[in-house]
Amino acid sequence: MLIASQIITAALCLLTVISDLYAHRVHNLWLLVALLLGTIWTGWAWWQGLTDQPWIALTGLIIGLAVLLPCYVFGWMGAGDVKFFAVLGFLMGAKALLPIWIVGSLLGGVHALVLLASRHWLAGQPLALLQSSLHTSRLWQNVVAARQGRVGLPYAAYMAMGALLVVFIPDLAHW
């Protein structure tokens, strides 16, 4: 992956981690800007002879979309998660998608287990007071307002963390 693609990917991932954790939202504008910048960069790199395979980006986009689209259709995942994964495929290539998906799934699984365990262990326990006071805090109320009723795991944030690992440890994409 060329350095400009890494910068575009890292910026998109950082924005996505923050937005998805806070508001459970992946902004379409950020995805479109990343796609546009990635397209410009890929075209320029091909024109300059830095790459002889510009279709790798399009292949990554198609594979990313095709792999997670059924998850959206069955209601297991939000559309933003699917679009984000497809854009990652475009920016990073199809080879990077498997490690991104594995890391994202592991992090999402840990999150789900912590949620399930906390609901079980906190019920009727002294820690329930802590949870109650946290949920009435102004910060938590801001988070709830930002989420506008959206529920679920912030899967795009976890995939973004996996993508950042691949950006900074490129060998992860080659196993």
| Structural domains of the chain, count | 1
- 39-43, 85-89, 125-129, 151-155: the lowest-pLDDT one: 125-129
* 133 inside domain: yes
* 52 inside domain: yes
Angle at 51 between CA 158 and CA 66, to 5 degrees: 40
* 32 inside domain: yes
Cβ neighbour number for residue 40 with a 10 Å cutoff: 12
Q: Which two tokens stand for residue 12?
A: 């998109």
Residue range 113-123, pLDDT digits in tens = 987 877 766 66
CA distances from 97 to 30, 115, 163, 172 (A): 19, 26, 8, 10
Question: CA–CA separation, 128 vs 36, rounded Å?
Answer: 47
Which domain covers residue 133, as residue numbers? 3-170
Residue range 123-150, pLDDT digits in tens = 656 555 555 666 666 765 665 555 555 5
* 70 inside domain: yes
* pTM, two decimal places: 0.83
Question: CA–CA separation, 37 vs 42, rounded Å?
Answer: 8
Residue range 21-46, pLDDT digits in tens = 888 889 999 999 999 999 999 999 88
For residue 117, what pLDDT is reported?
Answer: 79
For residue 52, the SS3 value is coil
Highest mean pLDDT among 60-74, 116-130, 147-161 belongs to 60-74
| Residue 107 near residue 162 (C-beta atoms within 8 A) | yes
* 175 inside domain: no
Q: Which two tokens stand for residue 101?
A: 């998906």
The one-letter code for the residue type at 41 is W
Q: How far apart are the first and last CA of the chain?
A: 15
Question: CA–CA separation, 109 vs 59, rounded Å?
Answer: 28
